[in-house]
Amino acid sequence: LRHAPMDLRADREVAMAAVRQNARALKHLAGGLDADRGVLLEAVKQRGEVLAEFPAHARADREIVLEAVRQDGRALRHADDQLLGDHGFVQEAVGRHEGAFWHTSDIFRRDRQVCAKVVLGCRERGASTV
């Protein structure tokens, strides 16, 4: 995609196919597609850690961040501070991937409901450790 003509790099269909193949293709998109919600959502489905490279509005988007966390728990560290302070959001995030637990605040790591969500999530996925 890096060497593709600008009109192809600005084509949404091409962009979606590119990020499905390699989430890092985002940096080669044109025409504002690197900020397109659908394209960003598709990218985090492939590689959650690309959330770190997203614009602020996308790191504050609950659905995008939760999808990134489902793919890679470490992605939570790149979420917007407002989301990171939301108890319900943190519970949902650690329920999707127990690895997200280590990227929550100390307050949430001591919270019974958050801890219970991690344990239940591990049990559902058959994980042996947290």
| Cβ count within 10 A of residue 124 | 9
pLDDT digits over 101-126, tens only? 999 999 999 999 999 998 887 777 67
DSSP reduced 3-state for 93: helix
Say yes or no to pLDDT of 5 above 80: yes
Q: Report the predicted TM-score, pTM, of the whole model to 2 decimal places.
A: 0.88
DSSP string, 3-15: TS-HHHHT-HHHH
Give 68-96 pLDDT, tens digit per residue: 999 999 999 999 999 999 999 999 999 99
Q: What is the mean pLDDT of the chain?
A: 92
